[in-house]
A and B are shown apart, each in its own frame.
Chain A
Amino acid sequence: MDRKIWLSVAAAAIGASLLVAAATAAPTKIQAKKGHAAKGGTFVVEMDSDVDYTDPALDYLSTGWELMYAAACKLYNFPDKEAPAGSHLEPEVAVGLPVISNRGKTYTIKLKSTYKFSDGSKVSASNFVAAMNRLANPKLQSPATPFMDVIAGAQAVVDGKATKISGVNAINATTLQIKLTKPAPDLISRLTMPFFQAIPKSLSGNHDPNGVLTYSSCGPYYFAARTPNKSITLKKNKFYTGGRSANVDTIQVNIGNSLEVALQNVESGASDYAATGVPSTAYATLAAKYGVNKGRLFVKPQLGVQYLAMNHDRPLFKNNPQLKKAVNWAIDRRALLNQSGFLDGTRNDQILPPGLPGAKNVAIYPLEVNARTIAKAKLLAAGHTQDGKAVLWTANRAASLLQAQIYQFNLKQIGLDVSVQAFSRGVQIEKEGTRGAEFDFTTEGWIADYADAYDFINILLSGNTIHESNNNNVAYFNSPKYNKQMTAASNLVGSARQAAYQALDVDITTNDPAWAARSNFNDRIFVSARTRGFTYNPVFSFDYATVFVNK
């Protein structure tokens, strides 16, 4: 036989085996499960109400960020991994960590040149510059501006005195420079927020305050269509070459079905994922039926904390650490958590949620009440309850009202007569955020904007942030000692930063608790039978880019 023929037969054989290998190799991990999961298909999502925006400069709701996580490409990002790896940021479009100079005030970031928007155009440094200029543009009134407070020249744009942020520049296509007014070690964490994703040229000049419904993005997916209050469609970005996965072709979000319907649809397979949840009473049944983390119902911890804030502006808690500790000893964290449905959270007594860099679990207060803990609480409170009267504010939701009753009962045991006042949630936020409001306790919660302790400790507890109104520090906790330590911690980087925040968490909680933290949130995820292999990112929650659907 001719050598030529031999060669071509051999080439064909190699080619065929490569094809077979490729075909079998690609979804190995998935094939271990029953059924045949492959790329492609449509992943159908249920949301009971619409996201507020799908514009990268305006979207600031967790359900929206869940979608943005699949659509955006950012300089730094949290990887498509479960906790704890998922909350450790990595360069995405950036190459490595920034070069920091000028005593922490200049960041120089190298970019990869391989990223492309879904319209086919290349992602370069100027796209990130454009994003920030757009965020600061006063016409847009983006909720991102508070996160840009340290960027030099941002305020001038916000104030309408300039159109471009002087401190943000593209040195060349692959080099971005950001100048700060003061060092901000959490800058790269902030840059993981979807606000700071690269935007295409078509969007950079668009300052329509209403925002856009769809745009070309540079992540694995892009927003292909949106009818407000009805549906959102994400399609795979054909030009995406980054390392993240993109398995299904289409993510179809149906908006407006009640939680009951979402439950039915995911149960029957008409939809794949109940993004805004199912009725809270259904979780126990689902867990009994499908088990937890076994394929249908997943329970994942979120970076968030629920707490009972104590108002330090009031005589009851001003310089009264004994009583604050007593409250922490007295509350029945288990009973409180039980009111919000099965597996809604994990009991905790600390400020920082587990999984957040810097968080470390230390046993300080009881997670379970018994005669001994109550006795201890009484002992601490004795002689420190002032006139024995307190006002507790809460939201007029069923679970909150039940929890308020538990607080009432627990605090009665330490000699506090608590009267409960319930408001609609919006009213509660407004009232408790105004200084001088007449409450001693208020029930609150906080979800990480990005995975950094600053977002909890400095934002919620620093006395330097207290204003006349719109306060996040609703404990009105203002300790000069801790204020100083918080500022110091925020200027640290790396493990020193983590250690400093960890010490603050333990120190404040043990010695001068501003709150009684009670639990961390869980995300309860119910998916269809054909849903396979998604990861849950601790910051951005459900990772649409990683999900497969069975054929």
Chain B
Amino acid sequence: MATLLEVEDLRTYFTTDDGIVKAVDGVSFTLKEGKTLGIVGESGSGKSVTCLTIMGLNSKKSATSKGRALFRGEDLLQASNQRLREIRGNDIAMIFQDPMTSLNPVHRIGDQIVEGILLHRDVSKKEARRRAIDALKEVGIPRADRRADDYPHQFSGGMRQRVMIAMALVNEPSLLIADEPTTALDVTTQAQILELMHSLQRDYGTAIVMITHDLGVVAEIADDVVVMYAARIAERAPVGKLFEEPLHPYTWGLLGSLPRLEADIDRLVQIPGTPPSLLSPPRGCRFNPRCPYVFDRCKEEMPELVASPRDSEHLQSCFLDDVTKQREAERTLASFATEVP
């Protein structure tokens, strides 16, 4: 299958009053048509900025980006504003984390979808409205023809996320970037939304970049996974391989923090310490201050993302020797093997 999106050494730096924030610092990945890429990582690791950079939605004033983001061979970082506007909402659509604030409170939801149609399709308002209502029906909004005239505040969070999805998919984009689409929702709704996205992907062949904190979600829907830590990629692999043999201490930490049925503890507390400041990240491996396996080299040298010796599709950036990695991966998996399906 053809490559849809190819990101190469993407870097996005923000100029702020306190200094330069390197929010994304050398990220590369590829995504094939119709496939799903999961991006996981702690809060602040640069997942959203990565996607916003691809969409060209960072503030022009404070952000500078380098690298390449090839969408069907066209570098989005070099594209004109005009060209970007043509692509946005048409070829690439995006849905955001918080459905409560992502819809404009003063416009009817039908109109908000119609706006998206009219921007890219040369159809009458009436036709656009018909399509909007169809889209709403498709995402499972009951009585869509009437509800199209309601305002966002008249919908629940899950419903609003459905509306967002309808809005994103109405122009049948080939890539959907979903930035934590379920984080703000309750568990049952989360599952419904994921199921919805999954089925739409099946029907339309849309490729998805799914940003999430939740490895469970990744396991469920992603084909490939990117694990980000402090603006860089810690590990990148097809989903099966990642869960079979995680190769980065950070990934182990993440896996260790997956919810266990018997323990109702907060997801990410199991990695001690906090992510580093992106204003002045630590020398060497950025994970070194929190890494239980740290040794001298980690503090001096920045590890590159390299293929595992046993698998060219499995990339990781850790100086640990392969044997140790294998051993620790097994131990990590064993500790919750009973719980992971």
Direct contact between A and B judged by beta carbons closer than 8 A: no
List A residues at the B interface (Cβ < 8 Å). Answer: none
List B residues at the A interface (Cβ < 8 Å). Answer: none
